[in-house]
Amino acid sequence: MRVFIDSNVLISAIRFPHGVARQAYDTLILSNDQAMICKVNIDETRKVFSQKFPEYREILEAFLFVAKDNLTIVQTPPFPNTKEPMIRDVNDRVIFRAAAGAKADVILTGDKDFLESGLEHPLCMTPAEYLLLRDSRHENL
């Protein structure tokens, strides 16, 4: 399964190392699923840490340094995707474009604009939903 990680999940995974987002991130990295992000994710994550959590910037950079070996950084297509209007927040549409362009099966997110979009492919799910999905897939093996 190809899983695109939204910026808010990255931020939560870094900021709260014992939280659900980090559990989902670690599970994803240790699974056979392919974890993906785009440059926009990285830039947005750095911006949030600079503005809201400047004292954690070193932790962010250390996380990203290690993560580069586990994540595939995908390109963002230059042209809009026809499903983009389903996402209320126009700033999130570029993230969707990158995920769709990379043929992601899932967008791992906590963003209601994604979760309430009605998108079926890629499917939008929370970190908790991803963990439940992984557990159910593991039980069926």
Q: How far apart are CA 124 and CA 109, in angstroms?
A: 7
pLDDT of residue 103: 96
CA distance 75 to 42: 12
Residue 136 predicted with pLDDT over 80: no
Q: What pLDDT does residue 37 have? A: 97
136 vs 128: CA distance, rounded Å:
12
Find the mean pLDDT for residues 106-131.
94
Tell me the three state secondary structure of residue 124: strand
pLDDT digits (tens, 9 = 90+) for 57-106: 999 999 999 998 999 999 999 888 888 888 888 889 999 999 999 999 99
CATH superfamily name and code, 2-139: 5'-nuclease (3.40.50.1010)
Order across the sheet with 34-38: list the strands.
72-74, 34-38, 2-5, 106-108, 123-125
The β-bridge partners of 36 are: 4, 72
Predicted pLDDT of residue 141 = 46
How is 45-59 classified by DSSP, letter by letter? HHHHHHHH-GGGHHH
What percent of the chain is predicted at pLDDT more than 70?
Answer: 96
**Do residues 83 and 104 make contact, with C-beta atoms less than 8 angstroms apart?**
no
Please say if the pLDDT value at position 26 is more than 50. yes
Q: What is the mean pLDDT of the chain?
A: 92
